[in-house]
Structure 1
Amino acid sequence: MAFYEYNVLVFVVVVAGVAYLQHRRDRKAAAAKVQGQGQGQGHDSEAARATITAGNAVIWQFKKKFLPAYLLAFGSDWLQGPYIYTMYKDEKGLPEETVAHLFTTGFLAAAMSASFVGSLADRYGRRSACLFFCVAYGVSCFTVLFDSIFILFAGRILGGLSTTLLWSVVESWMVTEFHRQHLEEAGSLSDMFGIMTTLNGFVAILAGLFAQQIADFTKTQAAPFMAAVVLLILAFGFISSRWSENYGDSHNSNVDGLLPASEEKDKNGLQYIIQGRKHGQSSEDITERFGLDKRLWALCMTSSCFEGSMYLWIFFKFSALKLSHEAAGQESELPFGMIFAALMCAMMLGSLFFTYYSSLATSRWVVSPSRLLTITLFVASACFILPVLVHNEAVTFWSFCVFEICCGIYFPSIARLKEKMVEDGVRAKIYGILRIPLNIFVVLGLMTTKDGKSHPNSPSLLAGAKLS
Structure 2
Amino acid sequence: MLFSAFEAWYIHEHVERHDFPAEWIPATFARAAFWNHVLAVVAGVAAEAVASWMGLGPVAPFVAAIPLLALSGALALHNWGENYDRQRAFSRTCAGGLRCLLSDRRVLLLGTIQALFESVIFIFVFLWTPVLDPHGAPLGIVFSSFMAASLLGSSLYRIATSKRYHLQPMHLLSLAVLIVVFSLFMLTFSTSPGQESPVESFIAFLLIELACGLYFPSMSFLRRKVIPETEQAGVLNWFRVPLHLLACLGLLVLHDSDRKTGTRNMFSICSAVMVMALLAVVGLFTVVRHDAELRVPSPTGEPYAPEL
Indicate whether the TM-score tops 0.5.
Answer: yes
2:262 equivalent among 455, 458, 461: 455
Alignment of 1:42-57 (within 5 A): none
1:45-72, Cα deviation, whole Å (9 max, x unpaired): xxxxxxxxxxxxxxxxxxxxxxxxxxxx
Q: Distance in 2 between matches of 1:220 and 1:341?
A: 18
Alignment pair present for 1:175 and 2:32? no
Q: Distance in 2 between matches of 1:444 and 1:266?
A: 26
Give how far 1:444 is off: 1.2
Match of 1:64 in 2: none
Alignment pair present for 1:227 and 2:52? no
Give how far 1:351 is off: 0.9
Q: Distance in 2 between matches of 1:401 and 1:321?
A: 13
1:197·1:411 contact (CA, 8 Å) conserved in 2?
no
Give how far 1:312 is off: 0.8
Secondary structure in 2 aligned to 1:434? helix
1:346 equivalent among 146, 149, 169: 149
Any stretches of 5+ residues in structure 2 without a counterpart? Answer: 191-195, 276-308
Give how far 1:218 is off: 5.5
Q: Distance in 2 between matches of 1:276 and 1:433?
A: 10
1:106-130, Cα deviation, whole Å (9 max, x unpaired): xxxxxxxxxxxxxxxxxxxxxxxxx
2:133·2:139 contact (CA, 8 Å) conserved in 1?
no
1:304·1:435 contact (CA, 8 Å) conserved in 2?
yes
Q: Distance in 2 between matches of 1:439 and 1:205?
A: 26
Alignment of 1:110-121 (within 5 A): none
Match of 1:436 in 2: 241
Q: Distance in 1 between matches of 2:100 and 2:6?
A: 24
User: Which structure has the greater CA radius of gyration?
Assistant: 1
Give how far 1:224 is off: 1.6
Larger RCO: 1 or 2 (CA < 8 Å, sep 6+): 2
Alignment of 1:65-84 (within 5 A): none
- Structure 1 residues 436 and 369, CA gap change in structure 2 (3 angstroms): same
Match of 2:296 in 1: none
Q: Distance in 2 between matches of 1:268 and 1:244?
A: 20
Match of 2:116 in 1: 305
1:393 equivalent among 198, 223, 237: 198
Please, what TM-score do these two structures have when normalized by structure 1?
A: 0.53
Give how far 1:182 is off: 3.2
- Structure 1 residues 310 and 420, CA gap change in structure 2 (3 angstroms): same
1:368 equivalent among 145, 153, 168: 168
Match of 2:280 in 1: none
Identity of aligned residues (%): 24
RMSD: 2.3
1:191·1:355 contact (CA, 8 Å) conserved in 2?
no
- Structure 1 residues 228 and 428, CA gap change in structure 2 (3 angstroms): farther
- Structure 1 residues 467 and 366, CA gap change in structure 2 (3 angstroms): farther
1:347·1:404 contact (CA, 8 Å) conserved in 2?
yes
Give how far 1:451 is off: 3.3
Match of 2:304 in 1: none
Counterpart of 2:166, as a letter, is: V
Alignment of 1:61-460 (within 5 A): 164-165=1-2, 167-180=3-16, 181-184=18-21, 187-216=23-52, 217=54, 219-247=56-84, 249-251=86-88, 266-269=91-94, 271-276=95-100, 290=103, 293-322=104-133, 325=135, 333-360=136-163, 365-390=165-190, 391-449=196-254, 450-460=257-267
Q: Distance in 2 between matches of 1:355 and 1:459?
A: 33
The count of aligned residue pairs is 266
Secondary structure in 1 aligned to 2:208? helix
Give how far 1:273 is off: 4.0
1:250·1:266 contact (CA, 8 Å) conserved in 2?
no
Secondary structure in 2 aligned to 1:267? helix
Secondary structure in 2 aligned to 1:219? coil
Secondary structure in 2 aligned to 1:250? coil
1:379-407, Cα deviation, whole Å (9 max, x unpaired): 11111111222442221111111110111
